[in-house]
C-alpha cells in the first residue's frame, strides 16, 4: 500500500515502509511482556471454589489472594459470624499445602505454638518437638485472646520465617503465611496486639456484614444444602511449587520510577501528618509496592498503575497508623486520614 499525495506526480508517491508481517511499535507497546494467563486462570478457579460455600466477601477473598501472591501475612477483623475463619479455611483448601489452625486462648503458652525441647531417656539427649507453627499456612483464630508473651513468640517467625530454639535456627518451609482473625467488638479477655506485631501483617482486612441480596442468597444456599457444610467439595488448585512460582512472577511486574516516588510520598506524609502520632515504616512502603504488583498481575497487567497503589494502600496502612489523642477524642478515624492523604498527593501521569 502507498500513501498518495493527490497533488504529486506518480514519481513523488511516498512508499509505506511497514512490511505486511512487520509489527509496528504501537502494537509492541501494548503486548504483555509477562505471561500472566496461568496466574489469572488459577485465581479465577480459586474464587470459584471458595464461592461454592461462601456468598459475597469478594473483597476479603481477593485481598487474601494478593497476600498469598506477595508472601505476606493478613489480619482479618470482623464481628462474629461473618465467615472470617471459614473463608480462610476454604482458601487453604484450594491449595495443596500443609495447613495448621491454632486457637488462641488466654492460657496459651509460647511453647504451645513453637514447640519445646523434651528429654529423651533412651538417647539421654534433649529433642526438639516442633509446634503447630511449622506448616505452610497458619490460621490463628482470635489472635487477640493470647497474652503478650505468646504474642511475642510470633515476632521472629512472622518477620524472618524462622524460629530460634536453644540456640538452633529452624527455617520455615516456603510458602509460609499467617492468617489471623480477631473480633473488634468484644474487649473482655482480649489483649491488644503490639505495634511491632501489627507491622508484620501486610493487610488488615475489615469484614463487613453482607448486603440484603447476599443475606438472602446465604439463606437459600444453606436451605438447599440442608445446613451441611462440606469442606471436601472444595478442590485444591495450586501446590506449593506453583505458589512460589507465581510469587516470583509477580515480582517481575514493572513499576515506573514516578510510581515509586508516589508510594514514598504517601508513606512519608504519614510521618509528618498532624493527625497522626505514629506514621508508617519503610516496611509499609515495600508492602504497598508488592501488593500493587500482585493487584496488577491478577488483573492481567504486567505494569502497575496508580489505581493498583490506591486500591491496596488503605488495607496496608490502617493498622500501622496511630492517631493523636486529640483526633481520637474527636472520633476521627485512620481511614479518613488515609483518604485525605490520597486526595492530597498528586497522582502521577
- Tens of pLDDT along 23-57? 433 443 446 688 899 999 999 999 999 988 888 88
**Interatomic CA distance for residues 221 and 320, integer angstroms:** 38
- Tens of pLDDT along 71-90? 999 999 998 888 888 888 89
Q: How far is CA 15 from CA 2, 12, 18, 19, in A?
A: 5, 9, 9, 11
Please say if the pLDDT value at position 252 is more than 80: yes
Please say if the pLDDT value at position 331 is more than 50: yes
Q: What is the mean pLDDT of residues 7-34?
A: 47
Q: How far is CA 297 from CA 49, 302, 328, in A?
A: 20, 6, 37
Please say if the pLDDT value at position 187 is more than 50: yes
- pTM for the complete prediction? 0.85
pLDDT score for 125: 82
For 101, the grid coordinates are 489452625
Q: What is the mean pLDDT of residues 336-348?
A: 92
Q: What is the mean pLDDT of residues 90-101?
A: 92
Question: Kind and range of the H or E element at 101?
Answer: strand 99-103
CB 263 within 8 A of CB 309: yes
Q: What is the mean pLDDT of residues 65-76?
A: 96
Amino acid at each position: 500500500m502507498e500513501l498518495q499525495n493527490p497533488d504529486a506526480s506518480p514519481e513523488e508517491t511516498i512508499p509505506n515502509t511497514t512490511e505486511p508481517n512487520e509489527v509496528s511499535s504501537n502494537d509492541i507497546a501494548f503486548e504483555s511482556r509477562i505471561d500472566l494467563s496461568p496466574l489469572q486462570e488459577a485465581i479465577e478457579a480459586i474464587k470459584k471454589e471458595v464461592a461454592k460455600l461462601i456468598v459475597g466477601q469478594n473483597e476479603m477473598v481477593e485481598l487474601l489472594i494478593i497476600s498469598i501472591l506477595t508472601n505476606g501475612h493478613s489480619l482479618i477483623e470482623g464481628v462474629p459470624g461473618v465467615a472470617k475463619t471459614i473463608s480462610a479455611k476454604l482458601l487453604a483448601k484450594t491449595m495443596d499445602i500443609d495447613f495448621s489452625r491454632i486457637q488462641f486462648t488466654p492460657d496459651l503458652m509460647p511453647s504451645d505454638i513453637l514447640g519445646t525441647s523434651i528429654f529423651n531417656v533412651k538417647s539421654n539427649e534433649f529433642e526438639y518437638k516442633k509446634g503447630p507453627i511449622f506448616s505452610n499456612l497458619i490460621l490463628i483464630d482470635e489472635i487477640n485472646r493470647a497474652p503478650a508473651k505468646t504474642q511475642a513468640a510470633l515476632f521472629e517467625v512472622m518477620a524472618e520465617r524462622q524460629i530460634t530454639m536453644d540456640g538452633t535456627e529452624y527455617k520455615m518451609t516456603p510458602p509460609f503465611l499467617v492468617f489471623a482473625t480477631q473480633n473488634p467488638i468484644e474487649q473482655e479477655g482480649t489483649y491488644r496486639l503490639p505495634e511491632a506485631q501489627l507491622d508484620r501483617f501486610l493487610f488488615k482486612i475489615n469484614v463487613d456484614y453482607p448486603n440484603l441480596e447476599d443475606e438472602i442468597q446465604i439463606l437459600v444456599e444453606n436451605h438447599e444444602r440442608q445446613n451441611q457444610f462440606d469442606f471436601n467439595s472444595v478442590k485444591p488448585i495450586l501446590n506449593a511449587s506453583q505458589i512460589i512460582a507465581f510469587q516470583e512472577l509477580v515480582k517481575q511486574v514493572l513499576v515506573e520510577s514516578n510510581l515509586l516516588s508516589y508510594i514514598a510520598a504517601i508513606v512519608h506524609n504519614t510521618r509528618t501528618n498532624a493527625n497522626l502520632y505514629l506514621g508508617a515504616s519503610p516496611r509499609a512502603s515495600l508492602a504497598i509496592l508488592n501488593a500493587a504488583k500482585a493487584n496488577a498481575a491478577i488483573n492481567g497487567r504486567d505494569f502497575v498503575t496508580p489505581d493498583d497503589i490506591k486500591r491496596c494502600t488503605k488495607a496496608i496502612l490502617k493498622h500501622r497508623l496511630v492517631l493523636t489523642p486529640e483526633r481520637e477524642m474527636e472520633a476521627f478515624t485512620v481511614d479518613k486520614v488515609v483518604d485525605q492523604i490520597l486526595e492530597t498527593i498528586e497522582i502521577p501521569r
